[in-house]
Each structure stands twice: as structure tokens, then as C-alpha cells.
Amino acid sequence: MDQSARKLTGCVLLVGYLALYALLAAAIGVSLFPVLPTWAQLVYYAIAGVVWIFPLRPLFTWITKGDA
């Protein structure tokens, strides 16, 4: 696969992943609202706002690798 096709595919996968992750993180957060105090909700959303990047490392590596 050439570089431009890899970038396009990677961008489509990235947008899809981010949409699903945001919906899942928000659904979990909303279900925890009645149970958690405000400070714990803040901690949850802070962690959820950072953790999304870690599973994407293989995708970014694949996008940026040269043609073989």
C-alpha cells in the first residue's frame, strides 16, 4: 500500500475509533454520575481524556512507515 492510501485509511480508522471511544467514555461517565462524587467524575474524565491515545500507537506507526 502506498503512503497516500495508508494515510487516508489511517485517518478514516482514527476518526471512527475516536467517535466510538468518545461515545463509550461518555456512556460510562454518565452511568457513574449518580454513584461518584464530583471530584471522582473529574478524575474519570481527565483519565479518559488521555488514555485514548495509547491504543493508537500501532496505527500511527503503520501510517508513517515507509513503502516496503
Burial of 58 (0-12, 13-18, 19+ CB in 10 A): exposed
- Of the candidates 65, 64, 58, the residue with the CA atom closest to the CA atom of residue 17: 58
- Residue range 5-63, pLDDT digits in tens: 999 999 999 999 999 999 999 999 999 888 889 999 999 999 999 999 999 999 999 99
What is the predicted pLDDT for the residue at 54? 94
Position 68 pLDDT exceeds 80: no
Q: What is the pLDDT of residue 7?
A: 93
pTM of this prediction exceeds 0.85: no
Buried b (16+ CB within 10 A) or exposed e, 33-56: eeeeeeeeeeebeeebeeeeeeeb
